[in-house]
Structure 1
């Protein structure tokens, strides 16, 4: 059957009505609570997640089951419509995350950044992996092997959130300082490795934990890296050059979205996560340079103000805080949270000291890298989708992302106050402000 013979609107009238009302309610609530969170100097993602929590099984379902069942039915087709919007939004969001990474800066930071990134990645990864074997079997996803679950939990606690970190550093006027650049560079390295590990682990979860499947996932990752370097880089550079010939922002927006979606489709075709392709595309765009950032402002505003809040509100819908009443879930949440916070602080601090940085610089790096925010939520959603996480463990991972993001600003502010400002940093501040 050809596409022209397919009925133009397979979605029923009632299903479409519910879908539109879902979008309106989720976006309206997420926007309002996101602005409220920002007013209290918290990351907007906290309010956007809270919107889903309020409208989900934690509050609306037990309080008004009739309304909840009508507005958010368990019908898979209805859920998939909402998920499709959220997935498209998260691909663009991850693409923008990759664009914020300055690979040139990472090379300039050199030895110290590598030590910090290694410590901030390996220590929490190891602690999270160990915690995966301590959590009760009832909290492991159906059909997921325990080692796969443990490795996934390790990935979830080792990532850092560049969007949250960059926003905090900008608000605290720290991006021009050496410590701010070190935090961003170390977070970039951790995220590149983290996304790669996520792609491998999710591939293992869907294909099975065997030597052949592990080698296939690793081989696919190597193939993606080679294709990105040999094919992706020149294609992206050429596409951006063509886009820049036009003075219309719409051309650049369309080209960037096309590149992100194609890269996501490419990694998905290789049985890796689509978000890995979106992230790599963002890196290629950043490395290519020459893109007019002002032309992307309309897309950035739409993604951050519409698509991202819908995604995070949808993610909040899947959180069930009532599960914390169960002792094993509450104990698991406490264990993972403590290990996540401790692992990042200890790992980054030890890495800083190995890189010959001061005590307070080490603490500041640990504080900054602890924020998991957006990235932690995305990792949790992937884990739930591929069946590695249950609703309980999904709720735990998202809680870790929220709590660590809330902790980052005050702890970073406390440590940075004790780091002297150099003359070079003062000169750099004049450039930034001028």
Structure 2
């Protein structure tokens, strides 16, 4: 029996272009990200701008020859860049999940639940309604209006915990009850947001029938139950085995393997791979055996190189020239208004129902309104699944950028009016050591943001 011919390796020119793409995008992302932080803006805004500059918004119309050479519109070439970006986002989501502190949620209890619930339900409902009201030209061919509307609703209801955590860190508010309440509500938002994204993504992949809707909901529930009952002891055993080495390398390799296998499992179930990565990260966070110091090399690689590269590739898909068309510009303004009103208003109402004063409610609204990283990931998912076209993708990413830029100044303005003793009047648990001015130094969600500084 003749041997099968070997699979051809990547061509010399394709490899050259790929290496230059990665180097060029990463350099621009790092430079523009640092520039953004100098102006006290989230670095993700600069990193997204790197892709925008070399994409169809600027480089393509100005230098079409160079743009075509560097970013040839061929699936085989662009898929190489996409693969690196997908690896980066899966590890980013996994590391973020591993850094979450669910003790915050337990400490803030009912207040966090009210803020998070109102901040999820109102924008979700408004986003779905907006999706049905947008003209049919914004719905890609092959996507049902219902799936499109549901996806837009999910995009409107997510929050970006990293952006606001960095702002709280800069403002020295992490030790205050109001800061910890924002973080705890953000944790709940993240968990529910990834769950909803996985459900809607399954509907977009398989179709929209009663059976698909049922399985789209039951599969993520099954994944969570499996993770809690079987996955947790397996993850704990793997991390304990890796932790026997004094070197960080076994722990880093083990975490990467666990995250990727979990992502592959949910992808095989027609759920989103990032859902599996996030669930795995949560299992790692709750294992109780991980030494955070040994995760530092992976965190550094992801947050310093892979994440900026992912955001730069996300910016490549934005086409700001589309906003020159009145219909697209009008839709962008409408979606942004709905996103801000829904998320800001929902969190504000939840805070007021919890008997917080208006300035504390304003601070919570500003924090929860920030979309940042999470919305960019949602938008990239929608584009990959064909739920969003270039115009709607550009609009959703714009919402992520604008709301992230809005959060810091509004939060600073609100906190300037919050009394230093406000933490004792929040109607929450008795003051903890953190509320009394001692920063929480435990392995919580803030660790990622201290190192990332922006995400």
TM superposition score category, shorter chain reference? over 0.9
- Name 1:285's counterpart in structure 2: 284
Give the secondary structure class of the aligned counterpart of 1:116. Answer: helix
Shift of 1:316: 0.3
Paired residues of 2:175 and 2:438 also in contact (CA < 8 A)? no
Q: In structure 2, do the counterparts of structure 1 residues 246 and 31 end up closer, same or farther at CA, with 3 Å as the change threshold?
A: same
Q: Deviations over 1:133-189 (max 9, x none)?
A: 121111112211101101100100100011112111111111111111111111111
Cα distance in 2 for partners of 1:179, 1:279 equals 26
Q: Structure 1 residue runs of 4+, over 6 Å off?
A: none
Give the secondary structure class of the aligned counterpart of 1:429. Answer: coil
Q: In structure 2, do the counterparts of structure 1 residues 20 and 5 end up closer, same or farther at CA, with 3 Å as the change threshold?
A: farther
Paired residues of 2:176 and 2:435 also in contact (CA < 8 A)? no
- Once the two structures are superposed, the pairs formed by residues 244-393 of structure 1 within 5 Å of their partners are 244-393=243-392
Which residue among 418, 437, 454 is the counterpart of 1:429?
437
Shift of 1:380: 0.1
- Name 2:404's counterpart in structure 1: 405
Q: Deviations over 1:231-266 (max 9, x none)?
A: 111111111111221110111111111111111111
Structure 1 gaps of 5+ residues are none
- Give the structure with the higher percent helix: 1
Cα distance in 2 for partners of 1:328, 1:409 equals 30
Cα distance in 1 for partners of 2:242, 2:324 equals 54
Aligned length: 433
Shift of 1:5: 5.3
Shift of 1:427: 6.4
Greater mean deviation of Cα atoms: 417-426 or 150-159: 417-426
The answer to whether 1:59 aligns with 2:67 is: no
Shift of 1:110: 1.1
Give the secondary structure class of the aligned counterpart of 1:101. Answer: coil
Shift of 1:432: 4.9
> Could you state the TM-score of these two structures normalised by the residue count of structure 2?
0.92
Paired residues of 1:124 and 1:343 also in contact (CA < 8 A)? yes
> Could you state the TM-score of these two structures normalised by the residue count of structure 1?
0.96
- Name 1:221's counterpart in structure 2: 220
Shift of 1:44: 0.8
Paired residues of 1:267 and 1:277 also in contact (CA < 8 A)? yes
Cα distance in 1 for partners of 2:341, 2:435 equals 35
- Name 1:95's counterpart in structure 2: 94
Cα distance in 2 for partners of 1:195, 1:382 equals 12
Give the secondary structure class of the aligned counterpart of 1:246. Answer: coil
Cα distance in 2 for partners of 1:406, 1:6 equals 54
The answer to whether 1:106 aligns with 2:81 is: no
Shift of 1:361: 1.4
Cα distance in 1 for partners of 2:222, 2:269 equals 9
Cα distance in 1 for partners of 2:5, 2:166 equals 46
Shift of 1:299: 1.1
Paired residues of 1:105 and 1:185 also in contact (CA < 8 A)? yes
Q: In structure 2, do the counterparts of structure 1 residues 234 and 128 end up closer, same or farther at CA, with 3 Å as the change threshold?
A: same
- Name 2:164's counterpart in structure 1: 165
- Name 1:69's counterpart in structure 2: 68
C-alpha RMSD of matched pairs (Å): 1.8
